Amino acid sequence: MPNITFIKVDGEQVEVDATVGNTVMEVAKELDLPMLAACGGSLACATCHVTVDEDWYKRLGEVSEDEEDLLDTAHYLTATSRLCCQIKISDDMDGLTVRLTPME
């Protein structure tokens, strides 16, 4: 199980061994982390917005056009922003760290 770290807005870090095949959003919700994820992962809300570091951003692969469009509506957008309902966990994601964004 790949180990994933969430960094909350206040800096607290939460580590978890994540189940392959789940999305990062699903893992965050299971942990009851402060993330709205209002559309339940159907790529319609942008409230599962996280940022990743540059290396991981590249490793996670192409961002779809639909995700790009929705990200444009997100607050606190960065060059390495992702919608984490679109990041499916795989074995090679051990060490992935995502930073949560403030809920609004």
Instruction: Count Cβ atoms below 10 Å from residue 23 Cβ, excluding itself.
Output: 19
Q: Which residues bind ligand FES (CB under 6 A)?
A: 25, 37-39, 41, 43-48, 83, 85
Least gap, CB of 93 to ligand FES (angstroms): 17
For the chain, helix, strand, coil in percent to 5 are 25, 20, 55
Name which of 11 and 52 has its Cβ closer to ligand FES. Answer: 52
Least gap, CB of 44 to ligand FES (angstroms): 6
Name which of 14 and 71 has its Cβ closer to ligand FES. Answer: 71
3-state secondary structure 34-84: CCCCCCCCCCCCCCCEEEECHHHHHHCCCCCHHHHHHHCCCCCCCCCEEEH
Least gap, CB of 30 to ligand FES (angstroms): 14
Name which of 81 and 93 has its Cβ closer to ligand FES. Answer: 81
